[in-house]
């Protein structure tokens, strides 16, 4: 740190907030208990300060899940729907889309979500400064191998205009140096704290270096670690030694499937905690848990180095990461991530929200009128700031859905309901379910993340870093990138270093420790998120950016214009891990037991597929709608 961090007010308003909500449950739904400003109906993507799981979005659900508290009575609205969808994430939006497609344009659908914006994880942060729009990601990032989506998911993409030609154009419109947009040959740096409060930024392509490609030895020699440790890293990256040669072939096979990656690095490779943190940073941000929770095989499959250091495998296959570097993975991105996909679906469902939008060519820049989401006399209504607390079948072949909005306890009825919210909450919404189903729904724990976007006056200092993406393994935000620079969706990214830009910072709060399950650690990370204030995040961000960029003329006091912290306590859907989970027989895994149809209620959401990807969210929606329309 070369400069003292002081608290500053931001142009866009510093949304200071306390951590965990402290309001008593009864006040959460007492009429007039919340000031009218608690419900934001303006344009949420431009809000700064604490976003993601923002104040007002989680308190009611926590009162239900933690204390079993919910309102004693509800005002029944005179509203009956063919379908009520709980959750306006990608799965809930897709469920509404598929249902309408099957049942006709007149089908009456209500979508409820507890946040002030739609999209679930797929949210955008939108800044306006010096006459320019600067977009970045508030969550889910990119289309991950869209060519491999299932028929139903693929068909939805095509109907949204994201067909093969569009996907090819997205690639063309993405600069070659933007890693997160699928340009896997872009430079990838490593930045570690050095002397005098300045990070040492080592350029190059560390994914290549870690797999023994390029001048990895020279790059390692620039890291501020001991010469011995450098030697070990060089041997490890280059495959100079087979670190499993004391084991038979069969033992090696068992070892890589039953021992943690970090234990392997420590015991077999002899790396120190300092080097291990380098790979932990990658695994934490990519998969939500550290190398202590991955088997060797899982870590290497996720791009962590090591395959070259196991002689037997190197003979016939190189690492997945190396294949990725070669361009095998197909990743495409909008400048606001998958929020553009959410916008495309919402505009199809409710055209009045953006009547002039053409589609994929202007989705990123189209103006959305949130006031049009929930109007009477439209077949699909999307109601935000509404936390569902109860869903049950009625005696007359219907469903009643109870929710809290702005302090009011309300209910609507429907013929069918799709729960596209979090699996863990469903047992509290539907207490009539069997204990076996509830146990299945409660098993997985979503992994938490914090994504921050920092609006800078200009990109002069960042451009001198000479990297659009760098690993910061020893910082709170382990990955730092420029905000998306592609022109997809009609967006004009910063034209040069003089234009305002945003820095996109990704962090995992999940502790990297040995001996605890991934599920326990994800819960710990979630608590950490709720107990960290915006002021604390702000201090971390200023300190990290100053240390990273101060050497290039950056001054956090004058260069930062706004900060948006997207806290995502319920992030990736849980997918099973070799160290923690048995191999269940087909149909007996917790997510399969948990997602069983419950009469007129079906379960969508990516949890129900145990897969944290957009196409899994679509597949889940398709299944839930098929159940309810059979």
Ligand X SMILES: Cc1cc2nc3c(=O)[nH]c(=O)nc-3n(C[C@H](O)[C@H](O)[C@H](O)COP(=O)(O)OP(=O)(O)OC[C@H]3O[C@@H](n4cnc5c(N)ncnc54)[C@H](O)[C@@H]3O)c2cc1C
For the bound state, the minimum distance from the C-beta of residue 619 to ligand X, rounded and expressed in Å, comes to 10
For the bound state, the minimum distance from the C-beta of residue 405 to ligand X, rounded and expressed in Å, comes to 10
User: CB-wise, 200 or 524, nearer to ligand X?
Assistant: 524
User: CB-wise, 354 or 522, nearer to ligand X?
Assistant: 522
For the bound state, the minimum distance from the C-beta of residue 320 to ligand X, rounded and expressed in Å, comes to 17
Helix, strand, coil abundance in the chain, percent, nearest 5: 40, 20, 40
Sort strands 447-456 and 560-572 into parallel, antiparallel or unpaired: antiparallel
Q: What are phi and psi of 129, to 5 degrees?
A: -155, 135
Residues with Cβ within 8 Å of residue 563, at least 6 apart in sequence = 10, 48, 49, 452, 453, 454, 455, 537, 538, 541
426 in contact with ligand X (CB under 6 A): no
Sort strands 199-202 and 189-193 into parallel, antiparallel or unpaired: antiparallel
Judged by CB under 6 A, the stretch of 98-106, 214-222, 407-415, 565-573 that binds ligand X is 565-573
Residue 268 is classified by DSSP as I
425 in contact with ligand X (CB under 6 A): yes
90 in contact with ligand X (CB under 6 A): yes
For the bound state, the minimum distance from the C-beta of residue 248 to ligand X, rounded and expressed in Å, comes to 39
Contact present, 144 and 614 (Cβ < 8 Å): yes
For the bound state, the minimum distance from the C-beta of residue 114 to ligand X, rounded and expressed in Å, comes to 4
139 in contact with ligand X (CB under 6 A): yes
**Angstrom distances, CA of residue 18 to CA of 15, 21, 267, 528, 531:** 10, 7, 42, 13, 8
628 in contact with ligand X (CB under 6 A): no
125 in contact with ligand X (CB under 6 A): no
Per-residue mark of binding to ligand X, 383-422 (x: CB under 6 A): ----xx-------------------------------xxx
Residue 278 is classified by DSSP as H
User: CB-wise, 418 or 545, nearer to ligand X?
Assistant: 418
Per-residue mark of binding to ligand X, 570-599 (x: CB under 6 A): -xx---------------------------
Contact present, 486 and 333 (Cβ < 8 Å): yes
91 in contact with ligand X (CB under 6 A): yes
List 44, 56, 71, 89, residue binding ligand X (CB under 6 A): 89
Residue with tokens 């910082």: 475
Contact present, 109 and 100 (Cβ < 8 Å): yes
Residues with Cβ within 8 Å of residue 250, at least 6 apart in sequence = none
Contact present, 92 and 604 (Cβ < 8 Å): yes
Judged by CB under 6 A, the stretch of 186-194, 228-236, 512-520, 564-572 that binds ligand X is 564-572
For the bound state, the minimum distance from the C-beta of residue 206 to ligand X, rounded and expressed in Å, comes to 20
Neighbours of 576 (CB within 10 A): 16
CA 498/CA 512 separation, integer angstroms: 39
User: CB-wise, 121 or 205, nearer to ligand X?
Assistant: 121
- Within residues 328-367, the interface with ligand X by CB under 6 A covers none
For the bound state, the minimum distance from the C-beta of residue 201 to ligand X, rounded and expressed in Å, comes to 25
For the bound state, the minimum distance from the C-beta of residue 449 to ligand X, rounded and expressed in Å, comes to 4
User: CB-wise, 86 or 476, nearer to ligand X?
Assistant: 86
Q: Residue 469 in 3-state DSSP?
A: strand
How is residue 365 written in tokens? 């820049």
User: CB-wise, 92 or 494, nearer to ligand X?
Assistant: 92
**Angstrom distances, CA of residue 210 to CA of 187, 190, 207, 214:** 13, 11, 5, 9
- Within residues 141-180, the interface with ligand X by CB under 6 A covers 141-142, 144
User: CB-wise, 61 or 190, nearer to ligand X?
Assistant: 61
H helix or E strand, kind and range, residue 305: none
- Within residues 284-313, the interface with ligand X by CB under 6 A covers none
List 28, 50, 84, 140, residue binding ligand X (CB under 6 A): 140
Q: How many residues bind ligand X (CB under 6 A)?
A: 37
Contact present, 500 and 561 (Cβ < 8 Å): yes
Per-residue mark of binding to ligand X, 214-243 (x: CB under 6 A): ------------------------------
Q: What are phi and psi of 301, to 5 degrees?
A: -65, -25
User: CB-wise, 122 or 382, nearer to ligand X?
Assistant: 122
For the bound state, the minimum distance from the C-beta of residue 488 to ligand X, rounded and expressed in Å, comes to 14
Task: Give Rg (Cα) of the chain.
Answer: 24
How is residue 85 written in tokens? 């969808």
User: CB-wise, 319 or 385, nearer to ligand X?
Assistant: 385
614 in contact with ligand X (CB under 6 A): yes
Q: Evaluate the CA torsion angle 90, 91, 97, 98 in order and state its sign.
A: positive
Judged by CB under 6 A, the stretch of 66-74, 199-207, 302-310, 607-615 that binds ligand X is 607-615
Judged by CB under 6 A, the stretch of 83-91, 205-213, 367-375, 452-460 that binds ligand X is 83-91
423 in contact with ligand X (CB under 6 A): no
List 14, 28, 34, 61, residue binding ligand X (CB under 6 A): 61
Q: Rounding to the nearest 10 degrees, give the CA dihedral for residues 84, 85, 88, 92.
A: -140
List 84, 86, 304, 310, residue binding ligand X (CB under 6 A): 86
For the bound state, the minimum distance from the C-beta of residue 442 to ligand X, rounded and expressed in Å, comes to 14
- Which of 115, 145, 125 is closest to 611 using CA atoms? 145
430 in contact with ligand X (CB under 6 A): no
List 449, 462, 477, 554, residue binding ligand X (CB under 6 A): 449
Helices (H), 77-193: 90-103, 151-159, 164-172
437 in contact with ligand X (CB under 6 A): no
Helices (H), 134-215: 151-159, 164-172, 206-210
For the bound state, the minimum distance from the C-beta of residue 597 to ligand X, rounded and expressed in Å, comes to 18
CA 594/CA 307 separation, integer angstroms: 37
Q: Which residues of 38-66 are buried (b: 16+ CB within 10 A; e: fewer)?
A: eebeeebbebbbbbbbbbbbbbbbbbbbe
Contacting positions for ligand X (CB under 6 A) = 61, 86-92, 112-115, 120-122, 139-142, 144, 387-388, 420-422, 425, 449, 451, 568, 571-572, 605-606, 612-614, 617
């Amino acid at each position: 740190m070369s400069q003292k961090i002081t608290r500053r007010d931001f142009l866009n308003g510093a949304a200071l907030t306390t951590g965990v909500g402290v309001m008593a449950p009864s006040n959460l739904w007492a009429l007039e208990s919340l000031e009218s400003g608690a419900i934001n109906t303006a344009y949420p993507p431009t809000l700064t300060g604490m976003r993601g799981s923002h104040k007002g979005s989680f308190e009611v659900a926590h009162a239900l899940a933690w204390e079993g508290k919910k309102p004693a009575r509800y005002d029944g609205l005179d509203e009956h729907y063919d379908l009520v969808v709980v959750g306006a994430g990608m799965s809930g939006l897709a469920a509404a889309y598929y249902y309408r497609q099957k049942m006709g344009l007149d089908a009456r659908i209500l979508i409820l979500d507890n946040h002030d914006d739609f999209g679930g994880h797929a949210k955008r942060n939108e800044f306006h400064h010096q006459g320019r729009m600067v977009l970045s990601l508030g969550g889910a990032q990119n289309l991950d191998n869209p060519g491999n989506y299932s028929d139903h998911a693929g068909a939805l993409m095509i109907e949204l205009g994201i067909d093969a030609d569009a996907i090819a154009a997205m690639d063309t419109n993405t600069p070659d140096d933007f890693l997160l947009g699928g340009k896997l040959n872009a430079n990838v740096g490593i930045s570690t704290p050095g002397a005098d409060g300045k990070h040492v930024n080592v350029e190059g392509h560390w994914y290549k270096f870690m797999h023994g490609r390029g001048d990895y030895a020279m790059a390692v020699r620039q890291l501020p670690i001991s010469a011995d440790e450098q030697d070990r890293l060089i041997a490890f990256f280059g495959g100079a030694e087979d670190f499993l040669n004391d084991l038979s072939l069969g033992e090696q096979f068992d070892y890589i499937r039953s021992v943690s990656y970090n234990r392997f690095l420590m015991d077999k490779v002899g790396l120190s905690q300092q080097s291990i943190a380098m790979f932990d940073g990658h695994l934490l941000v990519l998969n939500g848990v550290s190398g202590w929770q991955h088997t060797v095989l899982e870590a290497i499959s996720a791009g962590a180095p090591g395959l070259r250091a196991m002689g037997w495998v190197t003979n016939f296959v190189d690492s997945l990461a190396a294949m990725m570097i070669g361009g095998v993975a197909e990743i495409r991105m909008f400048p606001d991530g998958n929020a553009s996909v959410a916008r495309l679906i919402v505009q199809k469902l409710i055209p009045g929200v953006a009547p002039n939008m053409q589609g994929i060519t202007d989705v990123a820049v189209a103006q959305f009128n949130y006031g049009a989401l929930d109007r009477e006399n439209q077949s699909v209504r999307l109601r935000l700031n509404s936390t569902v607390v109860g869903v049950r079948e009625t005696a007359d072949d219907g469903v009643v859905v109870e929710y809290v909005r702005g302090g009011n306890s309300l209910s609507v009825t429907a013929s069918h309901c799709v729960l596209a919210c979090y699996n863990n909450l469903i047992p509290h919404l539907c207490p009539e379910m069997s204990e076996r189903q509830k146990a299945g729904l409660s098993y997985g724990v979503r992994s938490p993340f914090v994504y921050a976007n920092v609006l800078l006056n200009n990109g002069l200092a960042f451009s001198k870093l000479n990297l659009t993406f760098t690993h910061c393994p020893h910082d709170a935000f382990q990955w730092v990138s420029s905000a998306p620079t592609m022109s997809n969706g009609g967006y004009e990214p910063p034209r040069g270093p003089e234009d305002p830009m945003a820095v996109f910072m990704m962090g995992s709060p999940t502790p990297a420790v040995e001996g605890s399950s991934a599920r326990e650690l994800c819960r710990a990370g979630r608590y950490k998120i709720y107990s960290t204030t915006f002021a604390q995040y702000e201090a971390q961000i200023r300190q990290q950016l100053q240390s990273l960029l101060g050497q290039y003329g950056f001054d956090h006091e004058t260069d930062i214009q706004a900060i948006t912290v997207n806290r995502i306590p319920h992030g990736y859907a849980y997918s099973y891990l070799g160290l923690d989970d048995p191999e269940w027989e087909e149909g007996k895994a917790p997510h399969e037991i948990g997602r069983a149809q419950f009469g007129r209620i079906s379960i969508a959401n990516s949890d129900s597929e145990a897969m944290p990807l957009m196409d899994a969210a679509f597949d889940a929606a398709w299944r839930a709608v098929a159940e309810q329309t059979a």
